[in-house]
Every structure is written in structure tokens, then in C-alpha cells.
Amino acid sequence: MKRRKITALLASAIMVGSLLAGCAGAAPAADAAAPAADSGEEAAASAEEAPAAAAEAGSNSLTVWAWDANFNIPALKAAEADYKANVDPDFTLNIVEQSQSSDIENAITLAGSSGDYSQLPDIVLFQDHFIQRYVADYPDAFVDVNDAEVDWTDFGEEKLSYSTIDGKHYGFPVDNGTCIFAYRVDLLEEAGYTIDDMTDCTWEKFIEVGEAVYEKTGKYLLSMDGDGNDLFYLMLQAEGLSQFKDGKPYITENETLVQIVNIIHEMCEKNVCYLANDWGDYTDQTIIGDMVAGVMNGNWIIPTIRQVAENSGKWEITNMPTINGGGGYAANGGSSLYVTGNCKDTDLAKKFLAATFGGSVETYDNALRDGGVVTCCISAGQSDVYNEGVEYFNNTPIYAQIVEMGGHVPVIEQNDFHYTARQYMAAAMININNGADVMTELKNAEDQLIFEMEGAAQ
């Protein structure tokens, strides 16, 4: 088992907290987290009695660990209600809430390190960005679900690329991390533009509009957490590229990434983009504080946008700009449900997950209503509920739009050091905006990333 790799991964995960964990617009956890082993012991201990309780309840019950009482938990409750109503009225889903995603990651690390998986539940919710490393290092912790009765072609390829390992399906997608670009259409109009001008546009056109919006309204057309900067990843994915190539950092020789860094720098210089100091500044100051006329991130940012009640009806969404235009698509965050090696009834687990998150309109309709979880299942996203106009977004059917856009997100190379790359790229961008040389800073970021990856491999 490659325990040193997982230790490095957890260090990175704890450092960034749960930025993408719930994907419901929640702020990251504080950096001052407990050591990985201790966190894992606490997570295992907090749920130690749940599997035993489930076993006593009978063969028509399952236990799942998940986080986020306002997002993932309502989705699981919707699935339980759906299954009880349409498959087995005596079924019970025992939901054990964890404080954040790293609780589950650490508990699996502890179990894998000791070779004792007996304290794991039947099912776990797990972050997409980390699952492949965990399955590789702790294969006994998970069971493949390749034989589940699911039409896997009904899900976007990008979403499935995380949970498909060595040609086998391991996870049932839950939340859709598809990126939206939301615009204040009233402010665009004040500057002489419409949402149509922003659809399929180039970054050059975006900067032109952004300068006009700032001149007319004093608001930025884009903001991002400068400390945990996702712009590089999102903009690069929209071009069909990654910050990694063949398992290695792909930064200084990545001409498109260098171009993107220069575009971000130009946007910051021209008051088109505001890089916030941290996550709280990004959400509270720029979005809730009404500093921006545009927001680009995973669609889980929608609840944050909607906190400004007086702006209801003034927003609409579209796709991302790209360097050459034509429509850009990306995804940021997300998670899936996995059956563990300790599951007492894998057939029941697969049947339950297939009948609900495998494509049930009822599960996904209620998950959207109750928690804001947007389906990754293309057919479920065509329901009447998804096609309802959303008042806050000018009565447009944004959730159907999001599912449709999700089908266009390109599959790119992923890496367990995703968040580490983000850390070094964010620092490089701050230095570049303060006058440092672009290529020097990118070389520093690349060297630091290589050093950390090689150290973890030893």
C-alpha cells in the first residue's frame, strides 16, 4: 500500500479543507485541522455503532456516511423516500452525517493502513478528485458496481471519468459540478450588451465587455478566490486541456496555460476580474457584497448568488468564454456514492443506488427541491421540475440548462495533486499581478509541484 502517497494527499486535502466537498457554496474548512490519523480515528469512532445498528435492522437496510446537512443529506433522504415508495416500503437508509469530506477520507486511510475495514459503513460519499488514488491504494475498501442495472451512457463522460477505474464503474454520480457563468443582465444592458453577447464569446470579447461594465457600473465582471484560485483549471478545461500530462505537471510547456495566465493578469489589470483574498472575501464581499456583475464557478455557487434578494430576476446563465470562442464548458467539484468492501449486502446496495441515483426522476427532482443538488443524469434533467423557470434567474430554466451543459464538459487528465497544483498556481498569479515575471513564477510553481509529487512517491 502506498501510504506515503495518501499521507501527502491528505495533507493537501486538509490544507484546502472541503472547498469542493459539499459543492453547495460552503466555505472551505479551516487550515488548522487535526492530524490525518487522529481525524480518521475520530471519524471511524463517530460512526462506529452505525454499521452494527444497520445489521441488526435486517437485510433491507443500509448505512451511508455523507457530509453537508443542507446539500448531500437531503439528496440521500430523497433517495430513501423514493425507494421506500416504489421498491420496498420496509427499506431503511441510516444516514450518518460527517462534518466534512475529509472525515471519510481519513477513516478509509485508517482502515486501509490497519487492514481492518470492519468499521466502514455500507456506502460512502466520496470526492471525485480523490477516488482513483484511494481505490488504487486501498482496493479492498471498495466494490465495483459494474453489474448494476444502470444506463451509464445517460451520464456525462466527464463525471463518469472519475469513478470509472480500469474499465469498471465504482461510483454512482450524485451532484453535478458543471460550471456556470452567471451575469447580471441589467448591468450588461446598462453597458450596452446582452446575455447573447456573452454566449460562445472569446476572452478578448469578455474583457471588452468587462471594461465597459466597470466603467458604467463600477462592478467587476468576474471574481475568484485568489488564494484557492480555480480559474486556471476551469479556463484550461474549457479548452480541453489539463495542468497534468502523462501523470506529470504540464505548466511551463503548456502554451495554452501560459496564455490563460496572461489573460487573467490582463483582466486584473483592467478591472475586469477581482481576485479576493480568500474564500470568505470571495463569497461574502464580492458576491453577497454585490461587487460583481458576473460569477463563474461550479453551479453549487447558485445559493450564494441568491442570498442577495434584491437582485432577483436580474441574473441569467450561459456557458464560459474560450480563447477562440464557440462555447466553453468545465466542471468544478462533485462527489459520488461508493459501495465499501464492508457492505453487508452488496446486491441491495447496488439495487438501491441504481433505482435512485442511477436515473430516478423522483430522486433527482426532490434532491433539487430540498437541497439544490443538480443531477448528472441527462434524462432526469429533462423533467418538468428541471424545466421550470427560476424566478431569481429571470424565469429561465437554469437547471435544465446546467444538465445540458454538463454533457459538453470535456474529459481531461486528472491528478491527485489537483489541489497542490492550485496552491502553487494561485501563489504564482499573486506574484505576477505584483509585477513578477510570468515564466519565472510558472517555473517556480512547476518545480515545487514536481518536488512534492516526487517526495510523495518515495
Q: Which domains, from first to last, does the chain contain?
A: 3-176+334-385 (3.40.190.10), 179-330+413-457 (3.40.190.10)
pLDDT at 293: 98
**In terms of Cα–Cα distance, which of 146, 126, 122, 145 is closest to 134?**
126
Query: What is the SS3 assignment for the chain?
Result: CCHHHHHHHHHHHHHHCCCCCCCCCCCCCCCCCCCHHHHHHHHHHHCCHHHHHHHHHCCCEEEEEEECCCCHHHHHHHHHHHHHHHCCCCCEEEEEEECCHHHHHHHHHHHHHHCCCCCCCCEEEEECCCHHHHHHHCHHHEECCCCCCCCHHHECHHHHHHHEECCEECEEECCCCEEEEEEEHHHHHHCCCCHHHHCCCEHHHHHHHHHHHHHHHCCECEEEECCCCCHHHHHHHHCCCCCEECCEECCCCCHHHHHHHHHHHHHHHCCCEEEECCHHHHHHHHHCCCCECEEEEEHHHHHHHCCCHHHCCCEEEECECECCCCCECCECCCEEEEEECCCCCHHHHHHHHHHCCCCCHHHHHHHHHHHCCCCCECCHHHCCCCCCCEHHHCCECHHHHHHHHHCCCCCCCCCCCHHHHHHHHHHHHHHHHCCCCHHHHHHHHHHHHHHHHHHHHC
What band does 458 get if pLDDT is binned at 50, 70 and 90?
Answer: confident
pLDDT at 16: 37
Span of 21-35, 107-121, 263-277, 319-333 with lowest mean pLDDT = 21-35
pLDDT at 18 over 80: no
Instruction: Say if CB 190 and CB 293 are below 8 A apart.
Output: no
pLDDT at 416: 84
Report, as an integer, the average pLDDT of 366-374: 93
d(CA 399, CA 377): 12
pLDDT at 150: 97
pLDDT (tens digit, 9 = 90+) per residue, 204-228? 999 999 999 999 999 999 999 999 9
pLDDT at 129: 87
pLDDT at 445 over 50: yes
Report, as an integer, the average pLDDT of 390-404: 97
pLDDT at 42: 43
pLDDT at 244 over 60: yes
CB neighbourhood size of 262 (10 A): 12
pLDDT at 308: 96
pLDDT at 456: 83
| Residue 112: C-alpha distances to residues 1, 5, 36, 108, 225 (Å) | 8, 13, 13, 6, 34
Report, as an integer, the average pLDDT of 339-358: 97
What band does 59 get if pLDDT is binned at 50, 70 and 90?
Answer: confident
Q: What percent of the chain has pLDDT over 90?
A: 82
Report, as an integer, the average pLDDT of 278-304: 95
pLDDT (tens digit, 9 = 90+) per residue, 26-49? 333 322 222 233 334 444 444 444
pLDDT at 169: 97
Mean pLDDT over all residues of the chain? 89
pLDDT at 133: 87
pLDDT at 10 over 60: no
What band does 457 get if pLDDT is binned at 50, 70 and 90?
Answer: confident
